Structure formats: C-alpha cells, structure tokens
Structure 1
C-alpha cells in the first residue's frame, strides 16, 4: 500500500492505453479504441492493464461507434475492513458524444472489471438495436 493510502489520503495513478485497438492488421490485433485507466486508492500493475486490454477486445465489434473509454478502478474498504473494488467504465459514443456507463463491484478486481465491461457491452448492444429500429 502506498504511504498516501496508508495515511488515509487517496492515492491516484493514471495510465493511458492509447493504441490498444481492435482492427486486424496483417494477423495482429491493433487498437482503434483508446482507453484511459485511473486507479484510485492503489497503484496499478501491468497485469491489471493486460486484463483491461483483454476486456477491451470484447468491444471490438462496436469500434466504429465508440470514440474512447475511461476505466476507473477504486479500492475501498467495507465496514469490516475487507477490500472491495469499485469499477466504472465510461464509453464515449462517436456519433452523438453520449456516454454509456458500465459498473462493477467485487472483492476480486478481475471480476469487478469483467462486470463493468459486461454492463457496457449490454448498453452497446441496446444502442445497436435502437439504431436498427428493433428497440425504442
């Protein structure tokens, strides 16, 4: 734990994952959707960035509709002192600038990230259905 977090002060870490994309280029995956990651209450890690990048690939089919993503991962403590992760994924839509939000909470950081991407993916599916006139 950082000294700031140990002292009860929020710690903050920012990671810019521009260049993680979703277009196939000669058999390799190249990123078209940029994603900013903010860690609140702890420092991030390469493994968390890899997990976020893997989850971002799930949004590949929506790349034409998505301008970018912002992933915020916060560490909180329950009343009993247990660690809980609160994850929010903001998806900025390219066409109208609207923001779709996916949210996840869990004791497991990987499950919390996955839940946020699940919710964002469902919201994107709804937007596609609306655009096709299948949903109002």
Structure 2
C-alpha cells in the first residue's frame, strides 16, 4: 500500500492540473512509506487588491502513529512551484528523519531551512 494524500483547496475550486501535479510530487515520498502513512495537502489561494493571486501550500506528514508533522508553508505566485517546494521540503525532512536525526529535521522544518 502506498502513501496516501488528502487535498484541500481554499479560496478556489481547485483544478485537475493541480491535483495531477500534487500526485506527481507525491511519488517523491513513496520511498518513505516505512516512516509515513500519508500527507495532508492544503492549498490556499489569496487575492490581492490588484487582482494578483498568491498560493499558500502547506503539507502535513501523517506518521504511522497518526501524529501530524506540519512543515512550514511554501508561498508563491505559481502554484506548481509552491507545490514542488513543499514536497522537496518534505523529502529533505524525511531524509533527516530516516537518518535518525529527528531533532534536526524538526528544527529545519520549523525554520524553513529545508525549503531550498
């Protein structure tokens, strides 16, 4: 059984293309299924007064004990870029957890240092 994902879109109806990109990015986390059961992905669209849109992408990892490990949000004007950064950040945190350095992974996730 693979890593599952729940997606919530706020401030917009969502789109098949966004779900497809999220699914493609989820593949990056499959190798960590010994550590996680799944993830919760929240994508929020915010409009500015000038009509521009910003996307706030948040990813919480669901551990085997059902604990949620929230990662810092990735914000940007391009939803696909923000999604890629969020999953890259999760991948880096999981690599650190897999290496047994959970404190470093949590610290880096909290400060956003893994979101390069």
Structure 2 partner of 1:41: 11
CA RMSD across the alignment:
2.2
Q: Provide the aligned length of Structure 1 versus Structure 2.
A: 103
For residue 119 of structure 1, the aligned residue among 89, 99, 102 is 89
Q: What TM-score, normalized by structure 1, do the two folds share?
A: 0.67
Structure having the larger proportion of residues in helix: 2
Unpaired stretches in structure 1, ≥5 consecutive residues: 1-30
Offset of 1:88 from its aligned partner? Answer: 0.2
Unpaired stretches in structure 2, ≥5 consecutive residues: 106-116
Q: What are the equivalent positions in structure 2 for 1:23-62 lying under 5 Å apart?
A: 32-62=2-32
Query: 1:45, 1:62 → 2: CA distance?
Result: 27
Higher relative contact order (CA 8 A, sep 6+): 2
**Structure 1 residue ranges (4+ consecutive) displaced by more than 3 angstroms after TM superposition:** 78-81
Residue 130 and residue 44 in structure 1: after superposition, are their counterparts in 2 closer, same or farther (change >3 A)?
A: same
Q: Rg bigger for which structure? A: 1
Structure having the larger proportion of residues in strand: 1
